[in-house]
Structure 1
Amino acid sequence: MAAKPRKEKTVVRSKAPSSQGRSWLRALQRAIAIAGVIVMAGVTGVFVTYLMSLPVEEIVIRGDLKHVKRDDISVIIEPRVERGFLRTDIQRISDDLERLAWIERADVRRRWPGTVLVIVSEEQPIARWGEVGYLNARGDIFYGDVLPEYQQMPQLWSDRRSPGALVERYQLLQTVLMSEEMSVAGLQQDQLGQLSAFLSNGMEVQFGDRDFAVRVSRFIRLIRGDLRNEQIAKIDLRYEQGAAVLPASEKWARASAVRSQGGSYGSN
């Protein structure tokens, strides 16, 4: 049987694109990429324009407000939000609100899609500063209306304008006196740094300008010991050891004598 002749395979080879074709392809790809970027930029621009045009639809004010009226807060906020939700300068609103007398902190936030949330914390006075000011627990001075409910607060004052240090001494003395059923009615510091305390029982205590904690301890030992049952008008602790004591009976006797002579009597 005769063998069949073998068929030879025909291989067709594709021609590689010419350099001119490759250049054209790269140009097309670049054109498509540029067109895509332009389209995306346009879409993004439209979207950003839309976002920037969103208005503030609601202002929410939160906080336990006793001294500041909500209307006073709104008057400050409303002109600041007219430019829109995203254009509103929330830091400026916060700064403006914190300039109000009784506002300690104003936390201003955006809440999507159109709300400005304002959380207000009021100052908490622990003492009066002079006749018209107040002090908070950090020793910061702030000024507000002289309110009747705060007239019984301790009154602090320093001619050196150093309220922070004075508040620390007030807090130390107040804490120590609690166990003696007394409290601080006033604490004053003169230009020389001399510190004088006026207590709730009418006693005046002069602590001087140094070793305050040591002299407070000496004062407590005196009123628990030798002076336990005495009525004292004034104690002067400006000594290295011991103290000078003015009994209340002597004070009133001296005051009566001065008044009978037509003069006036001071605590010095």
Structure 2
Amino acid sequence: MSPSSLELDLDRNPDRQPDRDDDTGMRNDPAAPKAAAPAALASSKRKAERTLALFSVLAAMALVLLVSSGVLIQPVQVVRIKGDLLRVSKEEFVHALQPRLTPGLLRIDMASLREHALDIPWVREVSIRRVWPDGLDIFVIEERPFARWGSGGYIDERGRHFFAPVTKSGDDLPALFGPPGAHAMVSGIYRRLQREIAPLGLQLAGIGLTPRGVFHITLQDGPQVVFPPDKEPVWRARSGLALIHREFAGRLHEIERIDFRYPDGFALLPKRPDEESQGSERGAVLRFLDGKGVGVGA
């Protein structure tokens, strides 16, 4: 063959043997590696997803442990006080917590911060929440006084006795008194009795209970009314107040005291005369339940 007709097959190697399967001796299919590639890729992807999921779970657990421990290792730049504050201003609240709320502070013990906040007068409950990346929200619930307690302090709507500085806003609260530890019982009697006499147009300004069980009631713009000990003080007081409302409607503001500690009637003490009638005598009237009355010494 002439040199000009020489052809070289670069794909043909005389020393190369055809691809054959090791077991069968058959020639391997060139498409086989291509078919196995997607399966290997899917397996690798699943492994990566499992690894990422495990990492996410571990990271979340670490964050939960960090937060639950009360220590936030992040600088705090913004502190927000939230809640309806009537007796403590937000500025006073921040000022009280200022030593523990230094901007940029890396470590904040939230449990200690909450305990310190609860020591602030008029604060009943506090919850603290971290707002990422640099905020801290403090939710405050104030005490809501229901009445003033005779020995000092206040009673809340649940009948709980607590102490707080006296404020002008507490002047219009009912005044209650009683033996030590009787605040819940007395406040409960007040609530029930007020509901009973509301249809009569009467308003309680205060009630009290002596150690002997004598029951004192003060009406708004009206007299003080005294009742003897009774197993059913609300029922007894309601009956007595209904009686004097019927007998002295429109004139209760002229009476200083009514005493029901008599077996057959009650004693009535008028208010002191004004300056125009200083010469008149002040006396008490013992009024019997049958309608007859008799004067007694003042």
Confirm or deny a common fold (TM above 0.5).
yes
Corresponding residue for residue 258 of structure 2: 235
1:222 aligns with 2:251: no
SS at match of 1:135: strand
> Is 1:141 aligned with 2:128?
no
Whether the 8 Å CA contact 1:230–1:247 is kept in 2: the answer is: no
| Residues 1:80 and 1:193: Cα distance change in structure 2 (over 3 Å) | farther
Distance 1:114 1:242 in 2: 74
- Between Structure 1 and Structure 2, the one with more strand by share is 2
Partner AA of 1:222 in structure 2: L
Displacement of 1:136 after TM fit? 1.6
Aligned equivalents of 2:243 and 2:184: distance in 1? Answer: 28
Which of 170, 173, 192 does residue 172 from structure 1 map onto? 192
Structure 2: 5+ residue runs without aligned partners?
1-20, 25-50, 274-280, 285-297
In structure 2, relative to structure 1, the CA distance for the partners of 1:238 and 1:95 (3 Å cut) is farther
Q: For the residues of structure 2 that align with 1:187 and 1:88, how far apart are their CA atoms?
A: 47
Contact 1:103–1:120 (CA under 8 A) maintained in structure 2: yes
Check conservation: 2:178, 2:208, Cα contact below 8 A: yes
Q: Secondary structure at the match of 2:120?
A: coil
Cα distance change on mapping 1:217 and 1:12 into 2, 3 Å: same
Q: CA RMSD for the aligned pairs?
A: 3.9
- What do residues 66-110 of structure 1 show as CA deviations (whole Å, max 9, x unaligned)? 321323322444444569889533333223222222112222112
From 67, 72, 81, the equivalent of 2:92 is 72
In 2, Cα distance between the equivalents of 1:109 and 1:146?
31
Give the letter aligned to residue 214 of structure 1: W
Q: Distance in 2 between matches of 1:201 and 1:162?
A: 26
TM superposition shift of 1:117: 0.7
Of residues 110-119 and 79-88 in structure 1, the stretch that sits farther from structure 2 once superposed is 79-88
Please report the TM-score for the alignment, with normalisation by the length of structure 1.
0.64
Whole-angstrom distance in 2 between the partners of 1:230 and 1:53: 70
What is the TM-score with the length of structure 2 in the denominator? 0.58
Q: Conserved in 1, the CA contact under 8 Å of 2:148 and 2:155?
A: yes
Q: Which of 55, 68, 74 is 1:54 aligned to?
A: 74
1:6-32 deviation per Cα after TM superposition (whole angstroms, max 9, x unaligned): xxxx9859xxxxxxxxxxxxxxxxxxx
1: CA distance between counterparts of 2:145 and 2:270?
A: 32
Instruction: Report if the CA contact (8 A) 2:78-2:103 is conserved.
Output: no
CA distance in structure 2 between the partners assigned to 1:102 and 1:249 by the alignment:
38
| Aligned-residue offset at 1:218 | 1.3
Secondary structure in 2 matching 1:218 = helix
Q: Which blocks of at least 5 consecutive residues in structure 1 are unaligned?
A: 1-9, 14-35, 256-267
Q: 1:242 to 1:136 in 2, by over 3 A?
A: farther
Partner of 1:245: 267
Q: Write the letter of the residue equivalent to 1:121.
A: I
CA shift for structure 1 position 196: 0.7
* Aligned amino acid, residue 244 of structure 1: F
Figure out how many residues of one structure are paired with residues of the other and give that number. 217
| 2:185 counterpart of 1:192 | no
Helix, strand or coil: the match of 2:282? helix
Equivalent position amino acid for 1:253 in 2: R
Provide the residue aligned with 1:159 in structure 2.
179
**Cα distance in 2 for residues equivalent to 1:52 and 1:219:** 62
Report percent identity of matched pairs.
25
**Alpha-carbon distance in structure 1 between the residues aligned to 2:226 and 2:172:** 22
Do the aligned partners of 1:156 and 1:188 also contact (CA within 8 Å) in 2?
Answer: yes
| Alignment-derived partner of residue 121 in structure 2 | 101
Task: Report the alpha carbon displacement of residue 134 of structure 1 after superposing the two structures with TM.
Answer: 2.2
Structure with higher Rg: it is 2
Q: CA deviation at 1:162?
A: 1.7
Cα deviation, residue 61, structure 1: 0.6
CA–CA distance in 1 between the matches of 2:250 and 2:86?
43
Distance 1:211 1:242, change over 3 A: farther
Query: For residues 53 and 179 of structure 1, what CA distance do their matches in structure 2 show?
Result: 60
Query: What residue identity is the alignment partner of 1:219?
Result: G
Partner of 2:233: 212
Distance 1:90 1:222, change over 3 A: same
